[in-house]
């Protein structure tokens, strides 16, 4: 998964895992059962102004669930432009993340 703070100066241990109530966003997995019972039935229709990461944060809210995320990210954001990313943001935020 993804660590929002996974920069070279702060993320160095590929064996360390953190637990949080916050949904980390840019790389995740869940069980098929949880997808079918909880997420899929309420998944928003495409392009209605609701990004999937905000949707997932709302789904987790109030359920007493936690997310685990690694010290060093296992995924990497490759898009330099898009609905919520532009070149300067990519260069300042994503480019410097370390990857396991």
Of 63-67, 81-85, 92-96, the range with the highest mean pLDDT is: 63-67
Q: Is 41 left (phi over 0), alpha (psi -120 to 50) or beta?
A: alpha
Mind listing the pLDDT tens digit for each residue in 9-36?
Answer: 889 999 999 998 888 777 788 899 989 9
Task: Kindly report whether the global pTM for this prediction surpasses the value 0.75.
Answer: no
Q: Strand, helix or coil at 54?
A: helix
Q: Is 64 left (phi over 0), alpha (psi -120 to 50) or beta?
A: left
**Catalytic residue numbers, as ranges:** 53
* Structure-token match 């590929």, residue found: 14
């Amino acid at each position: 998964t993804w660590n929002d703070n996974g920069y070279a100066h702060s993320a160095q241990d590929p064996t360390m895992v953190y637990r949080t109530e916050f949904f980390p966003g840019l790389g995740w997995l869940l069980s098929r059962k949880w997808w079918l019972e909880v997420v899929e039935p309420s998944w928003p229709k495409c392009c209605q102004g609701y990004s999937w990461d905000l949707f997932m944060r709302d789904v987790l809210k109030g359920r007493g669930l936690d997310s685990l995320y690694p010290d060093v990210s296992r995924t990497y954001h490759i898009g330099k432009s898009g609905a919520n990313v532009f070149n300067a943001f990519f260069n300042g935020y994503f480019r410097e993340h370390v990857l396991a």
